[in-house]
Structure 1
Amino acid sequence: MQKHGISIGIERIGNTFYMTLKVTGKLTHEDYQTITPMIDSALKGVKNAEILALIDASELEGWELRAAWDDFKMILKHGSEFKKVAIYGHKQWQSSIAKVGGWFISGEVAFFEDIKAAMSWLNQGLEGSN
């Protein structure tokens, strides 16, 4: 049995929302049927907020075709709501996916092979950040 799935965390500090996503294995359409309503609900009613996201793709192996389409639809729906998205991983194809994803997100997208560097980048320029 292969491990796969998405876990999500959302924290609000003032007008800034921090979203963390941990993706594992090869994602399926069923994974997105579970996570999409959670993301929709978490972002519903968020107006003029800064949404910063950290996507931990260090254990991501890929998507089933239908799941890749689900991911694309989610980016189209919520892409304008993100100020910064840091993608953490270790594979060259993940860096390429980050670049393509950046075309559909209104904020900045960057790929990192060091999670501390990803977190530091997310917090750059925010009030009260170190």
Structure 2
Amino acid sequence: MIHITKTEKSNLISATINGKISKEDIEKIHPLIHNIVENGDKVDFFFELVDFEGYDLKGIWADLKVDAAHISDYGKMAIVGEKEWQQWAARATDVFTNSEVKYFDLTEKEEAKRWI
């Protein structure tokens, strides 16, 4: 589940993510991406993963479609997590996108906020 959190940075989507991401979760974020892109900005992301379990099947498909449509619209991504596989996923995202992606441990959350 994705919980959008308020931020003062106009091109930043900030969220806490736990459990599994569903299609409905992706549908919450997609309009936010459009709003930022329509203003001529790159979309930055701050994702805090807490007890994150990945995606359900419809969720991963929806996310892949959104990413394919907007991959050139993404800027920086700060991924704050608690598991080694999340760090590997962040590295893979960095390799496959033009975005600057950094992984931070939960203990480095404030550093991640400053970076983004």
Give TM class, smaller chain: 0.7 to 0.9
- 2:24 corresponds in structure 1 to 30
Q: Gaps (5+ residues) in structure 1? A: 123-130
Q: Rate the CA distance shift 1:18–1:37 in 2: closer, same or farther, 3 A.
A: closer
Radius of gyration: which is bigger?
1
TM-score, structure 2 as length reference: 0.79
Q: How does 1:108-127 map to 2 (within 5 A)?
A: 108-113=100-105, 114-122=108-116
Say what the alpha-carbon RMSD is for the aligned residues. 2.3
TM-score, structure 1 as length reference: 0.72
Aligned length: 114
* 1:95 Cα deviation from its structure 2 partner: 0.9
**Aligned partners of 2:54, 2:25: CA distance in 1, in Å?**
13
- 1:81 corresponds in structure 2 to 73
Q: How does 1:70-109 map to 2 (within 5 A)?
A: 70-109=62-101
- 2:61 corresponds in structure 1 to 69
4+ runs deviating over 3 angstroms: 9-13
**Aligned partners of 1:38, 1:23: CA distance in 2, in Å?**
18
Partner amino acid, structure 2, of 1:39:
L
**Aligned partners of 2:90, 2:45: CA distance in 1, in Å?**
13
Identity of aligned pairs, percent? 25
* 1:67 Cα deviation from its structure 2 partner: 1.3
- 1:39 corresponds in structure 2 to 32
Q: Higher helix proportion, which one?
A: 2
**Aligned partners of 2:82, 2:25: CA distance in 1, in Å?**
22
Q: Gaps (5+ residues) in structure 2? A: none
